[in-house]
C-alpha cells in the first residue's frame, strides 16, 4: 500500500513536471515568435526613421523657400491671369531671375502648380 501510494505520488509529480515542461515550451515558442515579430517591427521602424529624416530635410528646404515661392505665386495670380501662357512663362522666368539677384530664396524648379500643392492631387481635383 505504501509502495502504491509512493508510485501514485511520483506519477503525480511526473505529470506536473510534464505539464510544466509543456507550458514552458509553449511560452518559449511564443516568446520566440514575438522576438521575430519585434525584430521585423524594429527593422521597419528603422526604415521609417531614414524616410522621416529625408522628409525633414526636404521640409526644411521647402520652409526656407516658402517666402519666395508664395511671393511669386501671389504675383502670378494677381498680375498674370489674363496674359497668354508663353508670355506668362517669360515674365515668371524674369521674376525668378530677379528673386535670385535679390537673394530671395525660391525653389529650384518653381512652378505655380508645385507651389500650390502636389500636382497629382491637383490633377485629381480636375478629374472630378
pLDDT (average), residues 70-99:
93
What is the distance of C-alpha 24 from the center of its chain?
A: 39
Fold classification of 2-127 (topology level) = Histone Acetyltransferase; Chain A (1.20.920)
Confidence of residue 128 (pLDDT cuts 50, 70, 90): low
Listed in order, strand segments (DSSP E) in the chain are none
In this prediction, residue 18 carries a pLDDT of 95
Cell of 44: 521597419
Q: What are the domain boundaries of the chain?
A: 2-127
Instruction: Using alpha carbons, select from 82, 110, 78, 84 the residue that is nearest to residue 97.
Output: 110
CA distance 68 to 99: 7
Give pLDDT tens digits for 91-126: 999 999 999 999 999 998 888 888 887 777 777 777
Cell of 58: 526636404
Dihedral of the alpha carbons of 57, 60, 61, 65, in degrees to the nearest 10: 170
> What pTM was computed for the model?
0.57
Amino acid at each position: 500500500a505504501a509502495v502504491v501510494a509512493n508510485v501514485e505520488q511520483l506519477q503525480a509529480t511526473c505529470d506536473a513536471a510534464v505539464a510544466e515542461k509543456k507550458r514552458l515550451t509553449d511560452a518559449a515558442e511564443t516568446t520566440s515568435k514575438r522576438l521575430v515579430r519585434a525584430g521585423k517591427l524594429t527593422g521597419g521602424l528603422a526604415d521609417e526613421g531614414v524616410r522621416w529624416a529625408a522628409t525633414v530635410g526636404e521640409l526644411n528646404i521647402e520652409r526656407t523657400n516658402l517666402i519666395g515661392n508664395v511671393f511669386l505665386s501671389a504675383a502670378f495670380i494677381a498680375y498674370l491671369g489674363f496674359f497668354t501662357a508663353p508670355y506668362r512663362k517669360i515674365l515668371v522666368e524674369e521674376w525668378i531671375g530677379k528673386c535670385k539677384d535679390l537673394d530671395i530664396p525660391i525653389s529650384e524648379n518653381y512652378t505655380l502648380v508645385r507651389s500650390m500643392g502636389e500636382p497629382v492631387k491637383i490633377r485629381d481635383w480636375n478629374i472630378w
